[in-house]
Structure 1
Amino acid sequence: MRFRPALALFVALVLSLVAGGAVRAQSAPRNVVIILSDDHRYDFMGFMPQAPDFLRTPNMDRMAAGGAHVANAFVTTSLCSPSRASILTGQYAHNHGVVDNTSPIPEGTRFFPQDLQAAGYQTALIGKWHMGEDDDQPRPGFDRWVSFRGQGVYVDPVLNVDGERVEREGYTTDLLTDYALDFLKEQSGDRPFFLELSHKAVHAEFIPAPRHAGAYAADAIPYAPSMWLTEANYAGKPRWVREQRGSWHGVDFAYHGDLGPGMTGFDNFYRRYAETVLAVDQSVGRVLDYLEESGLAENTLVLYLGDNGFLLGEHGLIDKRNAYEESIRIPFLAWSPGFVPAGSRVDGLVRNLDIAPTLLEMTRTTSPIDMDGTSFLGLLANAESGAATPPDAAPLPTDPLQAAGDPGREFLYEYYWEYAFPHTPTTFALRGDRYKYITYHGVWDTSELYDLQADPREQVNLINVPTLKPIADAMRRRLFDRLEADDAMRVPMRRGNWQAAERLLYD
């Protein structure tokens, strides 16, 4: 009998925890806003310790302080269209079939906003679509459509507004935000909504808003240590990396010399990139302001993320496409007052193909899409405090095989060679918590193995270290096992308009 009070207390505690979990699940927001930028580096947010000292992003900092910083967010293909397709399908590029920026979307492709729309959501796509380069017509799954062809322009765009082309004057980032706010203001509350505000910015070639031009003109540029042409920086690196220095995507001949002479040209390039981020940050602030002022904030999840990363001199390169960290890591913030803990940090692995299953779980919507991603909704709801302070690195295991970590935390990276940008070969990689293995298809070159804890800048290729050969061999097997399991042991070939691409690059 004396144990009954303790038992009763235990039962009460369990029931309260269960009830608390149920309340938490019921409090998940109904509405979703995705703000998607282009080519935004993971570390170009003011609160990040790695950010340039001069960088100002008060609204992204505000999102991190009021929500969660998803610190380990990645794309599985670092290229605009394939990444955007992975966001909207929850699939790897070899499954959804959008493997470049120019080819039409494969027939039968389904995007998850179609499922939200069928479940009663009001849906909108405002901004860059880009899948199917020349086609800006409205796509299935969206009640509201404001987009443009291909990459679009930074100033005075021609927009397709619900099927009709409209010439607009102004800065595109601001105009798209205006349309997004109009959509939000139309919401009566009777139906939940999904909005994707998809910016062109900060895609090269960078053009900041007139109000931001020259904002960082007097600031010194922090050069990447691996930028310089030294034997130490290129010892063990694939030949294509060194050779790309003098190409369209290399620091020695970037955009075929259009940046200007020497370091002056690169410095201005870097500053324009940072200045172009400013209008995107203001866009984030305008959306958050309206959600708070309208009372929608408590029932809305806002995600801010990039469609891929961007190198600014690392390994002598600019652009993305490759499997290096600056290319595949993305900025990712989640904000939802009352649901996502303020000032929290999510350290769990999140990929672009995890977004669709997460939002479907949150909105309790089903989809016929066979998704490769998994939901991270639980990570958001249970994030821990400390958004701006990364934890200390875990101690390094002494046993190389133990150091390989849990293969379950690995993910596949793929990039398929493009005729228009031949400088980067077809690339496959397996990225784990500690080690990354990279191999190249169709080019006679060395593979790469990096210890990301000991060498986060990926400057020392370990592929030929005898004691690490078991790691490289095991990761290579796992990489190709994954491709084989998906019937992806092929390199997709797309027709594309190569002649148009040649004229763009070389005329």
Structure 2
Amino acid sequence: MLAFVLLAASADAQPRNVVFILSDDHRYDFFSAHPNAPAFLRTPNMDRMATEGAHLANAFVTTSLCSPSRGSILTGRYAHNHGIVDNTSPIPEGTRFFPQDLQAGGYRTAYVGKWHMGEVDDAPQPGFDRWVSFRGQGAYTDPLLNIDGAQVQHEGYTTDLLTDYAVEFLEAQDGSEPFFLELSHKAVHAEFSPAPRHRGTYADVTIPYPETMWPTERNVLGKPHWVRAQRGSWHGVDFMFHGDLGPGQSGFDNFYRRYTETLLALDESVGRVLETLERLGLAENTLVVYMGDNGFLLGEHGLIDKRNAYEESIRVPMLAWAPGWIEPGTRVEALVRNIDVAPTFLELAGTSTSIDMDGTSFLDLLPGGAEAGGAGREFLYEYYWEYAFPHTPTTFALRGDRYKFIYYHGVWDTEELYDIAADPEERVNLVEALPEVAADMRSRLFDRLSEDDAMRVPMRRGNWNADERLLYD
């Protein structure tokens, strides 16, 4: 890998401002314009971004967990390189985040929302002129926010309050400097809590269960033992959160409804940002990107949550909106990763960086450019075992355009190989049926880990107890 200097693009209509909206636990297919979305779901503002802009239909994270994914977004690096490998790891000394480069290049910068790197630290971070955040996971209602270093107690729903601060920042821009705003939501992180105005919106809908939720022979054959065992654990549909959500099917239905209802305020936040940019005359000079920090399973393979390497866990929604630059209705099929976000924004700004990034820019894809920009983006997936959630093992995977190979470290269990093109629900484990493909991907996986000095598995002291569990989720 080499540090790079990025050149400004030449397109006359290319925007210079950036608004990046990051959500939490939002899976790739849960906005209503997506063909796989639940029929009852309504997200008109996300739909607007897709209709008037671009839908990056194959967006992924390289670690499906809050802190490591956010670290990868802000550094353009894999977790084993930036060092924030779980939700409690401190930020390594000397870490540089790409907004520092934007700031050095003349940008006015702001961070509003969930930071969640360093766990208990909500102090302002380098690279941001404006800072609004909270400790750890925060709360859905009446949050204590750190406003530029001062602790301020608020009343209200956190999604709305964060959006208020984002709008305030946009309204303060006078056009003399380009700006970068990250609006980083807590929503829709478990345990889900809809805004009061949205509670009960979907109370009467019928929940569409995924076919792989049920332990039929077709769905279980070839699955690792740990997956089957996890059905009855904290992150399994048979005993979700150790039974805290209620018995069986009714508990799952309520869980599912709360997830979709919590999405409603998040979608309204997106709408407020777009409307503010239009009202201020900033829309045609601003790129807005919406993304989830990781996916979320809702019954697939008998599981909930994320962490594992299955599609619903690692795949996220990504939408881009820039009137006059992105052609309406653009659909990008190329594979895009969270480590590609930083180089993309830096290229847009024409700003150099000293960060040794693993990602590559996808800027050429946004205005309807050639799909060649997505070539060579097969990526490494990594998740490191956590003391607080021991039912998911350390996981490494390679995910390309067709095949996915998954390897589990520290457990005696089967590997997995899926033909994603032919079997998008990952029902049929081909590790024994296609031994040559599996052997080749296994070899390339370990070659990659070795070449990148990633053959080290982090260990963390375990001090978790039930009263502290939300700090680790």
What is the TM-score when the length of structure 2 is the normalising length? 0.95
Q: CA deviation at 1:492?
A: 2.0
CA distance in 1, matches of 2:467, 2:411: 25
Residue matched to 1:363: 349
- Which of 444, 457, 465 is residue 478 of structure 1 equivalent to? 444
Q: After superposition, what is the alpha-carbon deviation per residue over 1:298-337, rounded to whole angstroms, capped at 9, x for unaligned? A: 1000000000000000000000000000000000000001
Residue matched to 1:439: 407
CA distance in 1, matches of 2:428, 2:32: 29
Do the aligned residues in 2 keep the contact of 1:246 with 1:252 (CA within 8 Å)?
yes
CA distance in 2, matches of 1:192, 1:505: 41
Q: Where in structure 2 are the equivalents of 1:157-172 lying within 5 Å?
A: 157-172=143-158
Please report the RMSD computed on the Cα atoms of aligned residues, expressed in angstroms.
1.6
Q: CA deviation at 1:237?
A: 0.4
Unpaired runs of 5+ in structure 1? 1-21, 386-405
Residue matched to 1:296: 282
Q: Do residues 491 (structure 1) and 457 (structure 2) align?
A: yes
Residue matched to 1:101: 87
Q: After superposition, what is the alpha-carbon deviation per residue over 1:45-75, rounded to whole angstroms, capped at 9, x for unaligned? A: 1011100000000000000111000001000
Residue matched to 1:504: 468
Q: CA deviation at 1:453?
A: 1.4
Residue matched to 2:211: 225
What SS class does the counterpart of residue 396 from structure 2 fall into?
A: strand
Do the aligned residues in 2 keep the contact of 1:36 with 1:307 (CA within 8 Å)?
yes
Q: CA deviation at 1:201?
A: 0.2
Counterpart amino acid of 1:471?
V
Instruction: Report the CA distance shift for 1:23/1:308 in structure 2 as closer, same or farther (over 3 A).
Output: closer
Q: Do residues 449 (structure 1) and 449 (structure 2) align?
A: no
CA distance in 2, matches of 1:131, 1:505: 16
What SS class does the counterpart of residue 491 from structure 1 fall into?
A: coil
Counterpart amino acid of 1:255?
F
Q: CA deviation at 1:413?
A: 0.5
Q: Do residues 65 (structure 1) and 51 (structure 2) align?
A: yes
Do the aligned residues in 1 keep the contact of 2:9 with 2:350 (CA within 8 Å)?
no
Bigger radius of gyration: 1
Q: CA deviation at 1:91?
A: 0.3
Q: CA deviation at 1:501?
A: 4.4
Do the aligned residues in 2 keep the contact of 1:340 with 1:383 (CA within 8 Å)?
no
Q: Where in structure 2 are the equivalents of 1:64-463 lying within 5 Å?
A: 64-383=50-369, 408-463=376-431
Counterpart amino acid of 1:455?
D
CA distance in 2, matches of 1:75, 1:149: 23
Provide the aligned length of Structure 1 versus Structure 2. Answer: 461
Q: CA deviation at 1:367?
A: 0.7
Do the aligned residues in 1 keep the contact of 2:387 with 2:460 (CA within 8 Å)?
no
Q: CA deviation at 1:135?
A: 0.5
Q: CA deviation at 1:229?
A: 2.4
Counterpart amino acid of 1:300?
T
What is the TM-score when the length of structure 1 is the normalising length? 0.89
Instruction: Report the CA distance shift for 1:427/1:407 in structure 2 as closer, same or farther (over 3 A).
Output: farther
What SS class does the counterpart of residue 98 from structure 1 fall into?
A: coil
Do the aligned residues in 1 keep the contact of 2:334 with 2:375 (CA within 8 Å)?
no
Residue matched to 1:7: none
Unpaired runs of 5+ in structure 2? 1-7
Residue matched to 1:396: none
Q: CA deviation at 1:407?
A: 9.2
CA distance in 2, matches of 1:277, 1:485: 41
Q: CA deviation at 1:341?
A: 1.1
Instruction: Report the CA distance shift for 1:23/1:265 in structure 2 as closer, same or farther (over 3 A).
Output: closer
Do the aligned residues in 1 keep the contact of 2:107 with 2:178 (CA within 8 Å)?
yes
CA distance in 2, matches of 1:23, 1:53: 40
Residue matched to 2:5: none
Residue matched to 1:48: 34
Do the aligned residues in 1 keep the contact of 2:336 with 2:377 (CA within 8 Å)?
no
Q: After superposition, what is the alpha-carbon deviation per residue over 1:153-188, rounded to whole angstroms, capped at 9, x for unaligned? A: 100000000001111000000000000000000001
